[in-house]
Amino acid sequence: MTRILVPSGALGLGYDQDALDKGVAMQPDLIAIDGGSTDSGPSYLGRGVSKYTRASTKAEWAGLIRARATAGCPLVIGTAGTCGTDSTVDWLVDITREILAEEGLTATIATLKSEQDSVTDLRALPGAPHVTDEILQSCTHIVALAGAEQINAALQTGADIIIAGRTTDTAIIAALPLHNGDHAGAAWHGAKVGECGALCATNPQSGVILVDFDDSGFTITPLAEGAHATPHTVSAHMLYENSDPFILHEPGGHLDVTQARYRALDQTRVRVEGAKWVPADSYTVKLEGARVVGYQTIIMATIRDAHYVANIQDWCDDIAARHAAKVRDRLGDIAHTTELRIIGQNATLGALERTPVTPKEVGVLGIVTAADQDSARAIAMLLNPYLLHHPLTKGEEQPTFSFPFSPAETDRGPAYGFALHHVMELADPMDAFRLEVLA
Amino acid sequence: MSTVGQVAQKVRSKNAGPFWLTIDIFCGSDSAFRQIGNAVSTARVADLFQVAPDTVKRFDIADLHVIKFSMPRPVVQGDIRDRDMHGAGWAPLLSELAVN
């Protein structure tokens, strides 16, 4: 039997304090929370930083450190600081020490680091990009996703607070029930349902849920006032951010929920049994990597003139051709991509958009990507006169369009790209990870 | 003429990792599940998103009245050509598809 309290889907999203207090009073064996995701794009991994402010992270983490002290159980976070690099683990360790000092609390801290200096024998997953040694070497950060084995090793140190680098969302929850000998399929299935907090319940914003694991299944209990889990909300959660709603790959095997049965215990709680854990022949961990793909400068104009709005694509096409020629003339043969996205027409979907409309106004967003920031800015500056004054037809009086900013150009700094969708085989699960109990 | 969005309870799209997109159609009833399931073929979805039909995974989940499509992102999340970091814009496009 294992009882795990999940405060929310991610540190930084907030949680319901009353519900958390209720969970603490129910004597959990572990408080587990996820700290990250690739969902906000490659820049966070590329830079090794968190997407949430230090202030928000500190406020929410302090609440969990207090909850841990009251509950007398360990607290674990996976993928600390959005991307789970060594730098974001260290960042959260620093915040943790600051909180402990300010609150007059003591706790032992263990870190599990997931960052990789070099990776070999990669196996591509479906949809993976082509990788070369050059691409691998150009990655600013590569992380491996830890599974239940590495999280368990961290739990077995007896540390009070475990700050893990990149980890699968589920492993922080599945590790302890697996160690305790609860049903393996249920451990992973309950972890998958629980990893987004109360997203599996009727009041998704409330955050806090409790997952009870045993030798035949698991029970989900949302703790916020008015939040209910139903067989529908719980089973539907397997769809979320999952390309296959029945199969979930994890280090060392996969979860199969095809035969899972969901039963309402009462108005609030749902009991689930029947998931299967299928061990793999080899132990593999997934890798993520990001690298700089260029430097960007953006510029935006808004167009309110009806005649120009009606002919906006022609206007942009004409500007693109003239600008390309101007770049060659003024800057020579310089590698770059320049794109004009028409906001109000097809900026979200591009060529997939099939219902063109003529709005009152459109925005034209110029995005320049080049090998360095100075080049990107220079190329964007050559767009500026066109976006401000370019006429649709020869001979018409010079028009002027609206710019929201001065300067019109904004440097975006380095643009990062995801470089890996691969797995790496390990002889021992700890081979790619470093566990340390801090003094 | 009705659209998927008018017949279904909810349509959502999201990344499933940086390299895949997934779209869930919550039909809401058995009749809507059948109506949308019959009208929205995998080939139509592949054409809508301009991806190869054999890369589209389809799941018809009768118990939940859900039809789910997953496919590799035509442009990897965060690529300089990517317009939609979280894959949010695909749901409205699918919602506008006619079902009869």
User: Which chain A residues are closer than 8 Å to B57 by Cβ?
Assistant: 243-244
A42-61: average pLDDT: 97
Q: Which of B18, B70, B89 sits opposite A349 (nearest CB)?
A: B89
**pLDDT surpasses 90 at A355:** no
- Angle A253-A258-A260 (CA atoms, 0-180°, nearest 5)? 100
Q: How far B67 CA lies from chain A's nearest CA (Å)?
A: 10
Determine the pLDDT at residue A243.
87
Give the residue numbers in B contacting A (CB under 8 Å), as ranges: 14-20, 22, 24, 26, 48-50, 57, 59, 61, 63-64, 66, 68, 70, 72-73, 76-81, 83-86, 89-90, 93, 96
Determine the pLDDT at residue A248.
95
Determine the pLDDT at residue A206.
66
User: Which chain B residues are closer than 8 Å to A348 by Cβ?
Assistant: 83-84, 89
The alpha carbon dihedral of A114, A120, A121, A125 has a sign of positive
Residue B100 binned pLDDT confidence (cut-offs 50, 70, 90): confident
B29-86 pLDDT per residue, tens: 999 999 999 999 999 999 999 999 999 999 999 999 999 999 999 999 999 999 999 9
B10-28 pLDDT per residue, tens: 999 999 999 999 999 999 9
Residue A248 β-bridge partners: A255
* Pick among A39, A241, A243, A286 to test the B interface (most B CBs inside 10 A): A243
Determine the pLDDT at residue A157.
98
Residue A304 binned pLDDT confidence (cut-offs 50, 70, 90): very high
Determine the pLDDT at residue A239.
84
> Residue B64 and residue A367: Cβ atoms within 8 Å?
no
Q: Which of A40, A349, A418 sits opposite B83 (nearest CB)?
A: A349
Domain boundaries, chain A: 2-288+422-438, 306-400
Residue A354 binned pLDDT confidence (cut-offs 50, 70, 90): confident
* Number of Cα atoms under 13 Å in the Cβ half of residue A358: 9
Q: Which of A294, A348, A354 sits opposite B83 (nearest CB)?
A: A348
> Which H or E run contains A68?
helix A54-71
Q: Which of A41, A127, A369 sits opposite B72 (nearest CB)?
A: A127
Alpha helices in A332-408 (DSSP H): 373-389
> Residue A244 and residue B83: Cβ atoms within 8 Å?
no
> Residue A246 and residue B59: Cβ atoms within 8 Å?
yes
Residue A329 binned pLDDT confidence (cut-offs 50, 70, 90): very high
Check: complex ipTM more than 0.90: yes
> Residue A296 and residue B16: Cβ atoms within 8 Å?
no
Determine the pLDDT at residue A205.
66
A146-150: average pLDDT: 98
- Angle, in degrees to the nearest 10, between helices A54-71 and A17-25: 20
Residue A343 neighbours by CB distance under 10 Å? 16
Q: How far A67 CA lies from chain B's nearest CA (Å)?
A: 32
The DSSP result for B5-68, as a single string, is HHHSSEEEEEESSTTEEEEEEE--SHHHHHHHHHHS-HHHHHHHHT--GGG-EEEEEGGGTEEE
Q: How far B15 CA lies from chain A's nearest CA (Å)?
A: 6
> Residue A350 and residue B19: Cβ atoms within 8 Å?
no
Determine the pLDDT at residue A204.
65
CA distance A2 to A184: 12
User: B91 to chain A: nearest residue by CA?
Assistant: A349
> Residue B61 and residue A42: Cβ atoms within 8 Å?
no
Amino acid at A330: R
Q: Write the DSSP symbol of residue A275.
A: -
* Pick among A239, A247, A261, A418 to test the B interface (most B CBs inside 10 A): A239
| Tokens 């097809």, residue located | A346
> Residue A354 and residue B93: Cβ atoms within 8 Å?
yes
Q: Tokens in use for B46?
A: 């592949």
User: A44 to chain B: nearest residue by CA?
Assistant: B78
User: Which chain B residues are closer than 8 Å to A341 by Cβ?
Assistant: 83
> Which H or E run contains A153?
helix A148-155
Q: Do B59 and B40 contact (CB within 8 A), yes or no?
A: no
Q: Write the DSSP symbol of residue A404.
A: S
**pLDDT surpasses 70 at A54:** yes
User: A354 to chain B: nearest residue by CA?
Assistant: B93
Q: How far A38 CA lies from chain B's nearest CA (Å)?
A: 7
**pLDDT surpasses 80 at A191:** yes
Q: How far B97 CA lies from chain A's nearest CA (Å)?
A: 10
CA distance A95 to A52: 13
Q: What three-state secondary structure class fits A90? A: helix
Residue A305 binned pLDDT confidence (cut-offs 50, 70, 90): very high
Q: Which of B16, B64, B93 sits opposite A243 (nearest CB)?
A: B16
Determine the pLDDT at residue A422.
97
Residue A207 binned pLDDT confidence (cut-offs 50, 70, 90): confident
> Residue B78 and residue A367: Cβ atoms within 8 Å?
no
Q: How far A127 CA lies from chain B's nearest CA (Å)?
A: 6
**pLDDT surpasses 70 at A145:** yes
> Residue B78 and residue A421: Cβ atoms within 8 Å?
no
Mean pLDDT, chain A, rounded, equals 95
Q: How far A42 CA lies from chain B's nearest CA (Å)?
A: 6
Identify the CA nearest to A343 among candidates A363, A361, A358, A360. Answer: A363
Rg (CA), chain A: 26
A357-363: average pLDDT: 93
